Structure formats: C-alpha cells, structure tokens
Structure 1
Amino acid sequence: MKPMKKLHALYILGLCSILSVSCEKKFLDKAPGVDVTENTMFSSQTELEMYVASLYRHGIHHGFPTEDRSLTNAATYDISAGATDEVEYAVGWMTSQRWNNASITASDIVNLEDYRFFLRWTAIRMANIIMERLDEVPNLTAVYRDQVYGEARFIRALNYFEMVKRYGGVPIADKRFQLTDDLAIGRNTLEECINFIVSDATDAAAKLPPSYPSNMRGRATKGAALMLKARTLLYAASPLFNAAQPYLNFGDKNNLICYGNFDKERWKLAADAAKAVIDQAPSAGTRLITDRGVTANYKYQWTTNDNPEIILAAKIYGLRNNWEIPWATMKPNTLTHSGWGGAMVTMNFIRKYEKKDGTPQTWPEAGGNNLFEKYDELDPRFKQTVAYHNSYWNREDPQFNCMNSALGHWMHKLIPEELHNGAAQIPNWQIFRLAEAYLNYAEALNEYYDVPPSDAYEAVNVIRRRSGMPDLPDNLSKDAFRARVRNERAVELAFEDHRFWDIRRWMIAEENGVMRGDFWGLKLAAIPNSTEIRFTPFIFEQRTFLRKMYLHPFILSEVNKGHIAQNPGW
C-alpha cells in the first residue's frame, strides 16, 4: 500500500468519537458509580460482547427510511429507489427529488443521502480497537477470539465498501489513531481501497463460522464475508471503476476514482468470488427459496425473517416507536398520514417485467382496455412486488384502488402484508441474500468470456425457474445476455438498494428513462359495463442527470479543510 498522505483532523475525530459509545445505555449499561472505560470493555468476555453489540449498532446499516437520532442527528425519509427508474415519491420534498432534478450539493450530501458517513468512521475505529486489544481479554477460547476478530474485520470492510461505492478512494485507517498521531491523512487510491476491503473480507471469511444458533442471527458469518468480497470485486470490475479514464477527468488524481486501466481479469476475480459464495452456501444451510410455489417463492423470501435465502440481515432494530417514519414514507399516501406519501412505481420499471412466456410485454402508447389481462400475463414476481389496482396492501385494508393514484402503481415490496397498520416492528433489512450471488456470477462470467458460458445461463435460469419463468433463450450474444441479466437483476433485486448503484457502476444513468429523460406513469379509468380497466401511458416528469453524479461529492465542510480532494465536477 502506498503511504497515506493527508487527512484533516475531523475525519479522525469522527473515528475517535468512540466516547459516545460508552454512553449508549442500551448496549453499555453500568452499575451506579462505576466508570466504563475502554479498559473495561476488554476486561472480560461479557464486557467484550457488549462492545461488539455496539460495533454492530454503529457498523451495520439498513436501507429503510429512519429518523433514529440516537447515534446521529441526521435522518433519511426515502429509499434510493426514488432516485432511479424504480419509483417516484408521492410528495416532492423527499431526498430523491434532489437527485432527480440534479440539485443535490456537496453541502447537504450527508444529510440527504449518506447520513451514516460519520458513523462509519466510528465503526471503523471501534473495529480497529477490537483487533488491537482482543488478546488482552482473559480466558477467551481460540474459536471465540477468531470469531470476534473476523466480525471486526468484516464490519470494517463493509463500511469501507459503503464509502468506496459512493466516493471512490477514501482515506484508509488501518489502526486506531491517537491525538498525538499525524492526523493529516488524505484519500487512498481506488485500487488500494478495493484491495483493503478484499483483504479484510478474505481474512474474515477464514475466521468466521458458517452459521450461528438461531438466537444469534444477524452476526457476520463466513458467507457474509464471502458475499462482501464478491460484491466488492463485482463493483471493481464494472465500467465505472475498471477503466483507463474516469467518468470525468481528475487530472493527476484519476487513480482516486478509477483503476487507470481496463483489465478483463477483474471480471474473472468477481466471478470466482461469487462462485465461492454459491459453493459455500450449503454448509451454512443457505439456499434459494423454491418450496413455496412459483407465485409465492419470491414473496416468501422478502416477507419472512430468517428464511434460508438470507446470508446477512440487519437485526439491530426491533420494536421501535418511530417505525412510523418508514411506514409513512413507503405506504401509499391514501393509507398514511396527511402530508406524507409513499413510493409510486414508474411505468419505466413496470416495463421490465416480461410475460410469463419470457417475451416482452406490450404497453401501447395509445393505451388499451385490458389492464388486468396485461397483469395476468406478467412474470409472477410483478404481483409479489407491486401494489396494483384491486390488489391488497394488507388484510386490514380493502382492495386497493389505484384509479386516482398519480402513476397507477405503488411499491409493496419491503413492507410485508403481515404487518398490521401502525405496527412498530421493523422488518429485517436483507444486506446479502443468495440470489444476488447467482446474478453476480452470471454477470461476471458474461463479461469475462466472449460468449456467455453455460454456467452463466444456469445462474440466471435458476433464479427465473423458482418464479415460474422460462429459461433464457440459447445462443445469446454477449450484448444480448448482458441486457437480459441486467433486466433480471432489476426485477429480482427491485427496491433492495441495488438499482441506484448498479446504474452508476454500469454507467447507464444518462440513458433516457434510467436516471434522466422521460419518466412514465399510467392513467387508469373505469370502462362502463366492464370489469376491465382502461390504461393510458403518460410522461409525468423529465429528470436530469449530470455526469458528475456518477460518484457522490464529499461533504463540503470536510473538503474546505484542505486535505480531501473533492470528486470532479462538484
């Protein structure tokens, strides 16, 4: 690794904010009159476990909207889908609208999207402290010691991945800093950061167990570390980073945001890493959900906590009195509080659902009088994902009336029907699940070889079959297979915080209807003396995407200190 150069003190002060952890009553309760210090945390296994719990609280993210201000004063009220062709929010004040009209700035990026920015530095420091002081804890078994060490390296790597996918190269802190250290450390290159993450994930995988008892679900496993490595290498091999020149010229700093060369072998590394996840899954009891029927397999996967397809889920949130935030910002505005509004699925995204025979569905611009017929012809995942006219939101609500909705469809996935209205239980956010590994594998194989190999077909087809969809046609070209696997990824991973990052790593945001240009909805109308519905497509919005938006800006208050090179264009 090249020597780390300059980073301002605030980055490190963010890392040093561990003192705030000692005040987290939920995790670090202490008897009256007893001071809890860092030494206390390493005085016994019991104290260490409490510290590890706090590490998870700081270092494991979820993608739901949140106003949990116990760790940070920032909040987010929408999901990343609102800044893509997946959804449009029903109210205009959501963060995603700032992406859609290209008005997001370096001054507000932390508050509007990356609200965990400073928490990540705290989590990284905590992980470094654990790795440095773990041997001081008395009476640890070798197995337990390896597990905790692996958890710390995994969480450090996960937080670095979350930053690299947003910013490119960031400062690498591979030790805990003291106030007497040189705190002026700048950004490492993209390649150094990728290598750092992969090294952490590889070592974590070697130390972590394949599974835990049921009461310990949510802790990092071998499979989670392998999945993190696979996702990191997939992003590293993608056009945004795997390039001789970056998306915008950064002069002598180009290596902060791209490799500086294209290397096809990066796709081979990504393919091998994804295959390692698939091969390891049986030893952990991890498998695709295939035993619930083609009309329910997919839905079971996202509605059922701790199902066998989950590799890692965020379980740090349970019953919470502020569940109304995601509830109010994800439910349709006809079912939620006044002034709030949910996520409306665009026709741009609905068009991605094939017919059950594997051919494209037709949606004439002039409209039609057979909406329900169109729905019935679609991939079964459509009805398991989208709230459409005459469907149910949950069993407490009547059949859903989309006749007067702005776009004709609402997002249903992420909020299970089983949650009653006003529920305080937050569903688990799935960070990694096995289906992604298959799609990663298929994509990487296709990009590595001149023609897609049979293993690439099988990796996509196994996902399609479990939802009753036919296999992909044989003998597709490389470009045709790429289009099909990208579409499959969009449908299978819908609303799971993949699309926003996939669009940018593929560098397709500037295509019409992806993150810029025409965005479509459906107007619905009753047909006299008919049970069918008339639909008419219409353009509801023209979105803007600027090329600088392929990566986030660093928050301006940090850049102004003079040690962090701002990403180009910002």
Structure 2
Amino acid sequence: MSILVFSLSNCRVDPKLTDRYGADVAWTSEKNLQLYLNSFYPLIGQSYYTSAVEMDAYADLLKMNTPVDNVNQAIFGSVTISPSNNMLGNWDWGYSWVKNCNEFLEGLEKYGGDLPADAVARAGAEVKWFRAYVYFEMAKRYGATLLLKDKLTMDPNFKLGTPDECWNFIEKDLDSAAAHLPVTVLAGEKGKLTKGAAYGLKARAMLYAKRWKKASDAVEALDALKQYDLYPNYGELFTLRRAGNEVNKESIVEFGFSSPDFGYSFDYFYCPPGDKGYAQVSPTENLVGAYQMADGTDFSWDNATMAAKPYEGREPRFYASVLYNGAAWKGRTVETFEGGVDGFAFGGGTTCTGYYMRKLFDGSKKTQTDGFLPGDLTYYFMRYAEVLLIYAEAMAEQGSIDKALTALNKVRARAGFTTPVTAGSKDEFMRLLRHERMVELAFEGHRFWDLRRWGLAKTVLNNTNCTGIKITKTGTDWNYEKIDCDNGKKRVYPEKYDRFPIPTVEIQRNPLCEQFPEWK
C-alpha cells in the first residue's frame, strides 16, 4: 500500500543502447555502490505496518472487518496451509533475496578492489545483515531447517541443514555485520544499518533459537554502545516522522518516509468511517481488555465500577493505541455504538469489535474534511523496548528473575506504572512477559509468531473465537455487551502449523530435499 512517485523534468538523458549493463557497473564508484545497497532496504518497511497489522489479525489482537478477507478465510480454515498453498509462506521470496545477497557479495569480492577498503567492508556487512534477516524470516516459518546457500550456484541439489547449522549461519552473518558496521551514521544517512542493528537482530534471532545466553549477550553488547534508550512518551513515539529530525534513541532500525513523493496509504485503508477510511481492521476485546488500569490492576468486566465506565482510568498505552467509543480524535468524538458515525456491524466497512486502531495513524490530519495524503510517519523495524523484552525473557530462561524483572519494569515505567511488578518463579514471570509483549508491541506483527514459538498457538488460536464489545445507547445510558466478533465461527490452528511445509515445487525440483514428516 505504499505510494512512490518519481518526477523528472528538464533532464536530458542519452542512454547507452544495450540490453544489459555489465556486472561491474555497480562497483565503479562509491555512489553506484550505495545505489545498489539501497535496493535491499525495502526489505524492512516499504509498506509501513501493513504486513505487521495483517500478522496480528492472524493472531488474536486484530480482526479484519470484511468476512471474506483473505486473513479471515485462513483463520477460520476456509483456506488451509498445505505444501502447494501457504498464505504465510516465504520460501521463494526468501531464496530470491538470498540469491540477490549472494550476487552482491560475490560482486563485491570480485570487483570491489578499486573501492576504499572501509566502504567495501561496510557494504558487505550491510548485505550480510540482510541475508541473516531473510534466513531468520524463513527460519520462523520452516523451523530453521533450510537450504543454506552462501554462494551462487545453478545446482538445485541441496540437503536441508539442521536447525543448529541454520542458526549458526545467521549468527555468523550478524557477527560479521556487527564487526564492520558503524556505531552511528551521519544525519544524511539516517536509516542505514549500524552495529546496534546487528546486535538487535541477533538478539531477536537467538531468542527464537532458544539460545538464551547469546540473546542476552547481544543485548548487553547493544547496551555497551550507549546509543539507545526508551523514548519518554509511548504515544508520541509513533507520531514521529523523518522530516521532524527529532532525537529518538528508541529507534534501532527504522524506515523513513517523505510525503508526498514517497509515502504510504495505510491510514486510508484502516481508519474508521468517520475519518472517511475503509475500516478494514479493528482491535479485539482480547487485546483491549489486556490494557490495565493506570494503577496496574487488571481490568475486568466483572468489576461493576470498571464496567460502568470501561474506558476511564486505563494505562496510557491504551489511549495511545485504541480508538474507543467517546474518544477525542481529529477534532471529533469517535462513535462506535450501534448507529454511530463509526458504526458497529458485521459485514465490513465498519468495526465488528467496537474499536479501531489509533497507534500507527496520523491523528494530526482531519481526513474527514481534508482527505488523505500519503503518510510519512516512521516505521520501526526494531526499537529498544523490544530489545528490553528480549533481554527479560532470555534472562528469565537462564534463571535470573531479578535481571528479567528490571528490564520488564523499565518498559512498564515508561508506560506510566509506578509500582514494579514482581515474580517468584519463571512461570510467574513468563505470564507477565507474555502480557507485556502483547500490549507493548501491539500492531507491530509479533503476536502470531510469539504464540507459535511459545507453543501456545495451538490452544490460543485453535477452536476459539475472539470477542468484541457491542455498544448501544438508550437516552444518555450506555449498554456494553461482550460479543463473539467472529460471528459464530471457530478459529483453526492445527498443531502442524508450528512448522510450515516445504513447498511442493521445491520437493519436485530437488531430490535431496525431503518433506517434513507431519506434512507427508
């Protein structure tokens, strides 16, 4: 849903007539080298948060409002994952990008001799970071049992590597990247990869690998750079834009936009009807109910006082993330009650949960009267709050509950909580950690993969339904009714979804590649 506009005027171009340029063209100058490198950066955010929101709709945080939406067809089992059809697969995508990375690295080795040595080292580090990222995205899906390719080859015969071989490969690329990437970049290079990016991605990858010590070590290496901290205000964090030049130590890897020449149309598709948006997605009560009260107590509809005024006295992240009935927004009041301007209905075009997203939207523009322009808020591929939660989980798994709590409570303190949480065991801490990741990282695309790696997806996402709140108004009184926002359908997540199948086409073209037992 990105918008990209190029403008050429008063330019004379005298192209060389050729069907292709030589492989050495990219290596003739540092400028050409940078242009080549730039082709890899769309991997980390060119569609803003569109794919992240979709992933959270595969989980229990968001619900696509149109019943026939592709995500709904998948979560209810109308369309199922198989070796020949996988809506969440990325096998061909992954190996195409691995090939692109390998082509770059081989070209750099072959033709980079005339370029400055530091430019060559940094360029190789950037592309190894991207290769590690691609393999990590595949490992999430296929259980880190992959065809590890670090050289170009036309030979289709590759044996599947073991999980250890895969994670070792990813770790090696990220260690190499960390060794040669700069600690900081110049203002004109904002968004380029740094050492912090390498340590941060390594921490994330090692968390999935269950290599707890290596995950926590990577976070400690990142902290030793003394470049990162939490942004003071959670809500303001998601309203920053590259053009503002704000100091933001929370951003570790980001993708910047510039409106109108290079922007996105995210708001147009997801904003509520009162904003003149298409209202394609809504937060579930499963998520909304998880936002605590400002004093840290859990919200409950069974508490008569809370239920009478359910959207008062909640923690600040709730108000920064969710549009609810009565919320002030774009100079108006949100109406999610039945018959309100933002409506409530099943069938699409309006919420079926009683809520809309607020986080990730640009609330400074009155789109209901002025219309939509391409958006330009910053996309965060990785931010320091996630790194703290990675460290908390990794330390808990190593038995250091005190250090885990310190990291967790730092995230909660930024959210406005003044009383630290405590835990007497790893199990007790993990309940706190899972809750915190659910709320802090909402709409950022982590929830589905978190449930899966924790082994919880087959219970949380199978034979269940998500809930919403149907609000009706009688005079000045409000009635809140918890409803099944899945409209009677049950969600489907078979246990074998914990590892996606190798595509049929790979099995057919590679005699050394054998399908996983659960998918035969």
Shared fold (TM-score greater than 0.5)? yes
Q: Distance in 1 between matches of 2:91 and 2:47?
A: 14
Whole-angstrom distance in 1 between the partners of 2:250 and 2:49:
24
Listed one character per residue, the Cα deviations across residues 5-39 of structure 1 (whole Å, up to 9, x for unaligned) are: xxxxxxxxxxxxxxxxxxx999xx98342642212
Say whether residues 1:408 and 2:354 are aligned partners: yes
Q: Which residue of 2 aligns with 1:288?
A: 230
Q: Spell out the pairing of 1:497-536 with structure 2 (5 A cutoff).
A: 497-512=445-460, 514=461, 516-530=463-477, 533-536=478-481
Task: Provide, for residues 262-317 of structure 1, a one-character-per-residue CA deviation record: whole Å limited to 9, x for no partner.
Answer: xxxx322222222222332x2x3x32112xxxxxx111222213532110113478
SS in 2 for 1:511: helix
Q: 1:235 to 1:185 in 2, by over 3 A?
A: same
Structure 1 residues 374 and 553: CA distance shift in structure 2, 3 A? same
Structure 2 residue 99 is the aligned partner of structure 1 residue 120: no
- In structure 2, the CA distance between the partners of 1:516 and 1:426, relative to structure 1 (3 Å rule), is farther
2:202 is equivalent to residue 229 of structure 1: yes
Is residue 2:164 matched to residue 1:191? yes
Q: Which amino acid aligns with 2:252?
A: I
Show the counterpart of 2:148. 172
Whether the 8 Å contact between 2:230 and 2:384 is mirrored in structure 1 is yes
Q: 1:142 aligns with which of 117, 120, 124?
A: 117
Residues 113-168 of structure 1, C-alpha deviation per residue, up to 9 Å, x if partnerless? 34x65343333223223322325235432322221111011111011111111112
Asked whether the equivalents of residues 62 and 431 of structure 1 are also in contact (C-alpha less than 8 Å), the reply is no
Asked if residue 267 in structure 1 is aligned to residue 267 in structure 2, the reply is no
Change (3 A) 1:301 1:193: same
Q: Counterparts of 1:551 and 1:423 in 2: how far apart (Å)?
A: 40
Structure 2 residue aligned with 1:243: none
Residue type at the aligned position of 1:440: I
CA distance in 2 between partners of 1:322 and 1:109 (Å) = 32
Residue matched to 1:566: 515
The unaligned stretches of length 5 or more in structure 2 are 1-5, 243-247, 339-343, 345-351
Distance 1:470 1:567 in 2: 49
Give 1:201's aligned residue: 174
Q: How much has 1:107 moved relative to structure 2?
A: 6.2
- 1:516 Cα deviation after fit: 4.2
Q: State the shift of 1:235 in Å.
A: 0.5
Structure 2: how far apart are the matches of 1:144 and 1:562?
Answer: 38
Task: Give the C-alpha shift of residue 226 in structure 1.
Answer: 0.5
Distance, in Å, in 2 between the alignment partners of 1:220 and 1:327 is: 27
RMSD (CA atoms): 2.9
Q: 1:299 to 1:222 in 2, by over 3 A?
A: same
Tell me what 1:13 maps to: none
Which amino acid in structure 2 is aligned with residue 268 of structure 1? K
Length-normalised TM-score, structure 1:
0.77
Give the Cα–Cα distance (whole angstroms) in 2 for the partners of residues 155 and 559 of structure 1.
Answer: 26
- Using the alignment, how far apart are the partners of 2:14 and 2:136 within structure 1? 34
Unaligned runs of 5+ in 1: 1-23, 67-75, 238-265, 291-296
Q: Distance in 2 between matches of 1:495 and 1:30?
A: 47
Identity level (%): 27
Match of 1:46 in 2: 31
CA contact (8 A) 2:27 2:115 kept: no
Distance 1:503 1:77 in 2: 15
Tell me what 2:267 maps to: 327
Aligned match of 1:301:
237
Any idea what SS the aligned residue of 1:137 has? helix
CA distance in 2, matches of 1:276, 1:360: 35
In the other structure, the counterpart of 1:310 is: 251
Partner residue of 2:224? 279
Q: Match for residue 56 of structure 1?
A: 41
CA shift for structure 1 position 424: 1.3
Change beyond 3 A, Cα 1:63–1:372: farther
- Deviation, 1:515, is 5.2
Q: Deviations over 1:515-556 (max 9, x none)?
A: 5413211111224345xx321212233312111111333333
Secondary structure of the structure 1 residue equivalent to 2:388 = helix
Match runs of 1:66-81 below 5 Å? 79-81=54-56
The separation in 1 between residues aligned to 2:476 and 2:335, in whole angstroms, is: 18
Q: Are 1:348 and 2:289 counterparts? A: no
Aligned pairs for 1:209-220 within 5 A: 209-220=182-193
- What is the distance in 2 between the residues matched to 1:344 and 1:128? 40
TM-score, L = length of structure 2: 0.84
| Structure 2 residue aligned with 1:251 | none
Whole-angstrom distance in 2 between the partners of 1:501 and 1:153: 23
Task: Give the superposition deviation at 1:192.
Answer: 0.9
CA contact (8 A) 1:78 1:94 kept: no
In the alignment of these two chains, the number of paired residues is: 481
